[in-house]
Structures are given as structure tokens and as C-alpha cells.
Amino acid sequence: MLLLDGKKLADELKNEIAQEVEQLKAKGAKTPHLAAILVGNDGGSLTYVGHKVKSCEQVGFKSTLLHFEDNITEEFLLGEVKKLNEDNDIDGFIVQLPLPKHINPDKVIMSIDPKKDVDGFHPVNVGKVTLGLPAYVSATPLGITKILERYNIETSGKHCVVIGRSNIVGRPMSILMSGQSKTGNATVTVCHSKTKNLKEITLQGDIIIAALGKPEFLTGDMVKEGAVVIDVGTTRVADTTTKSGWRLKGDVKFSEVSPKCHAITPVPGGVGPMTVVSLLLNTLKAAKNEV
């Protein structure tokens, strides 16, 4: 069983990015600059944004964090997005989700300049990805393709089963896996809450991407021998034995599934670190005007 170590790969990619940033600076180019807007104090969001800021420092990027209380108005937030759109020193930025209930996330995402949308959520970037055009691919799907590529996982002609149809992971992942690319050309089945005979379908999967947010949903009896399993789940589960009082669980029951796999990502240390590094890759693209 091959462990697809996202943390190790993320560190390798960060080193590569840092070297490229040094080369850009040596040529007199500007330092890539990533900004993030965080509204409120959601624990997961605080941790995630903290990782982004630290990662920027590690690769030599400039980073800006705008942290607002959760009682700000939608109008105020849209004003802050407009400022970042117009700031020539900012190459890319993200608005951390989820947002407070009184703020419409679609309206906020639509207000982001597609050229600075390094999260890849704007309809312009989603559309370009669908058409196979140069675009910012949303961070988690991009991270998964990098894992498949760097670990030489063959995808062409394989049956890929994607569990989950969110606009953040499931849908873009299905498009990327079926597209004409090095980590594409797969036959893709998308499963979701209304899918019948789910186990029957997952047992056919050469590659399974579990992205539904239900801890340990995918069990050993749902996976065939030799499958490649990508676990996107990161649910906080109460655990009194840890210092934090919780631990992360994936969508895959690792103890049952891993013995049957050719390759599998762990949680934590799999897809998560690659999501952060993918934002850096997109920001580097933005700084070089490659999209």
C-alpha cells in the first residue's frame, strides 16, 4: 500500500515555489502577494488562514490578512473586495468561507476580479476549467491532481468514482478527471445523496475520491482490491485524549480501506496540505500573468 503523503509533497512544492520566487526577485520582478479576508472566528477557518499566512512566509510571498468581526455588513465586505480588486500590489486574494448567514457568499464571489480569484470559485474560472482553458483551478481539486501527478497514478481509461457534488470539490474534480490532461482521461461517475446502489458503484472504482464530509463513510466493503482512494474529508470529531479536545477524521475508514488499496491519502497529512500549497501555485500564476 502506497501512502500518498500530501505533507511531504507540499513541502517539496513549497521549496520549488520558493526557488522560483527568488529567481523572479533576482530579475527585478515584484514579490507575489496573496491576501485573505476572514470574517468571524470560526475555528477551522482561523486554522486554515493561519496555515496560508505561514506558507506565504515560507516561500517568500507577501501576505495580507484582513480579519473582520462577524457583524460587518455585506455592503462593507463588498467594499473591501473592491479595494483588493483595485490594489495593483495584490496578485490574488481569497474570501474565506463560510461567511455569516446575513452575507450572500455567491454575491461576494461574483464581486471578485476573476484575474485575482486564486480560489478558483468565480464562474469565469469555473467556465474556463470546464472548457479546458487556462484558469485558476479551485485549490482542493488542484491539490488532488498534483498528488496524482507526482505519485504517477495512472488515470487514463480508469473508472473514477467521485462521492460528493459540491461546487468546491466534487463538481470541479469530475471535470478535471474526465478532461484531456495528464491526470485526466478517466471515465467518471459522480455519486451523491440521491444515488442508489452506491456500494455497487464504488466497488467498480479504480480511483475513488471521497468528498462528502461524513466521517468514515467509505468502509472496507465498498472498495475493491487495488483501488486508489483520495480522502478529502476533514471533520472535527470530539476527542478528550487530545490537547485540543478534537481530532480530524476523513470520509474514509482508513483502518478498513487502506489494506485493500494500491494507494491512499491519510487524514490529516493528505489532501489538506496540498490545498494550501495550491493557493500558492495559483498566486504565483497570477503574479506571472499566466491566466
Cβ 282 vs Cβ 139: under 8 Å: yes
Contact 147, 120 (CB under 8 A): no
Is there a catalytic annotation at residue 128?
no
Q: Of residues 5, 119, 206, 231, which has the active-site annotation?
A: 119
- 59-93 burial, b at 16+ Cβ within 10 Å, e below that, comes to bbbbbbebeeeeebeeeebeebbeebeeeeebbbb
- Please state, in angstroms and rounded to a whole number, the distance separating the CA atoms of residues 214 and 251: 5
Cell of 72: 460587518
* DSSP output for 66-110: EEE-TT--HHHHHHHHHHHHH-TT--EEEEPSPPPTTS-HHHHHH
Is position 52 annotated as part of the catalytic site? yes
Sheet containing 92-95: order of strands: 62-68, 33-39, 92-95
Task: Name the pairing type of β-strands 235-238 and 246-249.
Answer: antiparallel
Q: What distances in angstroms separate CA 57 from CA 79, 269, 275, one per listed residue?
A: 27, 20, 16
Please give the DSSP secondary-structure letter assigned to residue 32.
P
Q: Pick the catalytic residue: 52, 116, 253, 285?
A: 52
Out of 5, 14, 91, 96, pick the active-site residue: 96
Active site residues: 52, 96, 119
